[in-house]
Amino acid sequence: MNEARTIPIHKMNGLGNQIVIADLRQSTVTLNGSHASQIAQHPRTHFDQLMALVPAKSPGTEAFIEIFNQDGSTAGACGNGMRCVGLVMQEPGSSATYETSTGLLPVQRDQANILTVDMGEPRLRWDEIPLRDEFHDTTRIELQIGPIDDPVLHSPSVCSMGNPHAIFWVPDVETPALEKFGPLIENHPIFPDRANITIAHVLHDEHVRTRTWERGAGLTEACGSAACATLVCGARLGYLKRSATVSVPGGELQIEWTEAGRVLMSGPAEHEYQGEVTIADDGSVEINI
């Protein structure tokens, strides 16, 4: 085995959101989308997102993190993945800062292993999300699925939390067939970079239930950036306070949109097992778990 091309990995989850962490900081290996999709196809390393840690680029950061979806596409943010990174990289009671393509992400791990990620400021302008068409008001945009006189989903709120998000407000998150409509809306031309699609039901102004179809991954038990986007969009509409519980199929996240404009996400992470991945010269991947 060529040790220079073998990297340690951790299989983890954040409220059921399946995460693989690959530590490349001491390796000459470069992971690409093909490698990521091969790793995702293995039953022991199937993931929603892969967090590839490479040497830090900015002073004061622990690592630069490249994020891959299971189809090999890339993402700019993954809140659940960042909590998993914090669980692996940090001691209880510590703080550290990481960097992704969308900026710096501070992570705090408390003594009870609850991890808080500063997800940064939401992007609310249409061209920052981005959208194909100009909308002056992104609290609601013109988009619907289904018959024009009786749409199944319509008028989503949109924003970016490092990834584009569309939030559809519904009376019941179990009724819409998200597995059917999710991929259609994800790839709608109005979203030039595709989008994460969430349906949300406000229980009261401090609690909302969600289900999410993740861009490049599909239905997920939890999507941290979608939970953040839901809180931000709900607060802009007056549906939610600036701090609320977001219930996802895998559990609960606490989200706060601070007066300073930062979005903080708090929740647990779980380590399942660890192993190794070897990248062959022909680009094939061998999993050893």
Range of the domain at 79: 3-111+269-288
State the pLDDT at residue 3: 46
What pLDDT score does 175 carry?
Answer: 92
Beta strands in the chain (DSSP E): 6-14, 17-23, 49-54, 64-69, 74-75, 94-100, 103-109, 115-118, 144-145, 153-154, 157-160, 164-169, 196-204, 207-214, 218-220, 243-248, 251-257, 263-267, 270-279, 285-288
pLDDT along the chain (289 residues), means of 10: 73 95 90 94 94 96 96 92 96 96 95 96 97 97 90 96 97 94 96 97 98 95 96 98 98 98 97 93 87
Residue 233 bears catalytic tag: no
Instruction: Identify the active-site residue in 78, 84, 159, 228.
Output: 78
Q: Which of 84, 159, 223, 228 is catalytic?
A: 223
Nearest-angstrom CA–CA distance, 45 and 221: 16
Same domain, 54 and 152: no
Annotated catalytic residue 228: no
The confidence score (pLDDT) of residue 150 equals 87
Are residues 228 and 273 both part of a single domain? no
92 and 161 both lie in a single domain? no
Specify whether 248 is located in the same domain as 187.
yes
124 in any annotated domain: no
